[in-house]
C-alpha cells in the first residue's frame, strides 16, 4: 500500500516505473476496467456465470477456503448465494438449493420477480 498508493480494490490504468513514483498506481476508477474486473472475479475465479436465464455455479476454490458469499442481482431480483466447503475440497457440487428446494445439477434458474431469494451451494 505504501508503494501502490491507490485503492486496492480497483484497477489502475497506470503503474508507474519512473522514480520517485515506481510501483504507484494512477488513473483509477475507470468504468470499463471495473466491469471486466467484476466479470473476472465472478466468472473466472468463483465460476458463477449467467447462461441465458440461469446461473451456472461450478466454483473451483482453494481447499482451505471455508466458502464464500455472493449477492447477485437479476433485474429487480436479489439472489443471496452462499457457497460452503465443509469437506475441504476445491471443486465438485454436492447440491444446489434455491429457497430450500434442491435443484438438479448446478444450473439455477433466474426469475425477475422482484423478490429476494436464498441460494445454497455445497461443494464436495
Place of cell 505504501: 2
Domain extent for 72 = 51-123
Ranges of H-type helices in the chain: 31-39
60 and 91 share one domain: yes
Confidence of residue 86 (pLDDT cuts 50, 70, 90): very high
Give the count of domains, the chain.
Answer: 2
Tens digit of each residue's pLDDT (9 = 90 or more) over 43-55: 988 999 999 999 9
Q: What is the pTM of this model?
A: 0.77
- Residues 59 and 115 grouped into a single domain: yes
Q: What is the pLDDT, as a whole number, of residue 41?
A: 87
For residues 5 and 63, membership in a common domain is answered with: no
Band of residue 31 on the pLDDT scale cut at 50, 70, 90:
low
> Does residue 102 share a domain with residue 79?
yes
Provide the pLDDT for residue 89. Answer: 95
Q: Under a CB-based contact definition with an 8 Å cutoff, are residues 82 and 121 in contact?
A: yes
**Is residue 4's pLDDT more than 80?**
yes
Domain edge (last residue) among 30, 45, 60: 45
Most confident of 18-22, 33-37, 77-81: 77-81
Among 42, 64, 48, 62, which residue's Cα sits nearest to residue 96? Answer: 48
How much is the average pLDDT of 108-124?
A: 97
Residues 31 and 71 both lie in one domain: no
The sign one gets for the Cα dihedral 92, 97, 102, 108 is negative
Q: Nearest to residue 82, comparing CAs of 114, 122, 113, 51?
A: 122
**68 lies in the same domain as 119:** yes
Amino acid at each position: 500500500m505504501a508503494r501502490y498508493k491507490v485503492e486496492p480494490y480497483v484497477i489502475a490504468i497506470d503503474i508507474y516505473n519512473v522514480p520517485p513514483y515506481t510501483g504507484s498506481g494512477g488513473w483509477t476508477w475507470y468504468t470499463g476496467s471495473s466491469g471486466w474486473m467484476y466479470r473476472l472475479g465472478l466468472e473466472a475465479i468463483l465460476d458463477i456465470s449467467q447462461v441465458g436465464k440461469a446461473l451456472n455455479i461450478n466454483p473451483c476454490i482453494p481447499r482451505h477456503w471455508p466458502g464464500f458469499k455472493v449477492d447477485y442481482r437479476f433485474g429487480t431480483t436479489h439472489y443471496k448465494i452462499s457457497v460452503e466447503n465443509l469437506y475441504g475440497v476445491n471443486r465438485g457440487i454436492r447440491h444446489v438449493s434455491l429457497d430450500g428446494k434442491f435443484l438438479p445439477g448446478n444450473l439455477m434458474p433466474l426469475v425477475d420477480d422482484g423478490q429476494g431469494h436464498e441460494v445454497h451451494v455445497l461443494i464436495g
